[in-house]
Structure 1
Amino acid sequence: MPLVLDGEIRSTTDLQKRTKDVLDTASERPVVIRREQKDDIALVNHALARRMFATYELAKLLVGAARYVVTRLDRPDDERTQIAYPLELEWAREFDNDDLVDFLAELQDAYDRVVGGDRPASDVTDVVEQWRRSAMVLRDRELRERLERERSILLEGQP
């Protein structure tokens, strides 16, 4: 599927005759160079190109996570170990279905903020890393038992 990029439309003649003007415009917003009988060329500044590629990679991660969660929600608990996990989400086995829905919601929220331009791409990878670290704690029996003890102590103090 071709990427649709809004931008100022210019011809190859414009690029040839007014190179400085075309490049100055491209430093501020995308410029699309129309070419006869060939694919159009998009000129964008480096920051936008970097953001576009990062957004694409984050979208792949989000789609992989969503596919995994949907597959897992669709299967009985006894088939959970048979599900193929994306390598970068192997740690997700440690969580129950409700946790995974929460993970996906956090991931989607972070992705939306990044795509909206409000936050850096690292926000998405930070969400994944925080959940991965939590999974490592759950995987470690001693740490898990300690957390459960501390949680029960906290709950005892509540009315």
Structure 2
Amino acid sequence: MVLASSSEDAAPVIFAMKALKISKIYTLGFKTSSTLARNAPPIEQFNSLESLQRARSGANESAAPFVMVSTLGPAKSSIVRLLLRAFARNGQNDGSTSNKRVFLDLAHAADRQAIETAEIADKSGFAPYGAADSAAFTTVESMRLLVGQNVPYSFVRLASGN
């Protein structure tokens, strides 16, 4: 599921989901351009309560979204929180990390709203990651590819001050 206010904000996420061969992409907050939709898996826009219910009614875990990426700013964090709660696991968080879903918040810095959203994501059965996590992972992979050195992810996070 991609939450964004424009297709330009969503483009990198949709291209990444294409590369990961995600079976269906749900969107909210923007109209998908034909360029983005080309060679993509089916894209369904949430434009009514019925479309949201269809996604939720995929009662089996494989039908419900397992990756939620938000580029919505702090002013729209209530929408993100609502969707996290709407797609919460029925059994709540069982502590097992092998079948956790992922919530990636690319819009928030480390502020109070981001922390609250991450807590809601965790309680809803999503593993929350922020923009700092994404930047640290990119740094680790870049160093591994460019220099041939494996740098621990935790060290990069610590060195960046997060």
TM-score (normalised: structure 1):
0.25
More helix by share: 1
More strand by share: 2
- Greater RCO structure (CA 8 Å; 6+ sep): 2
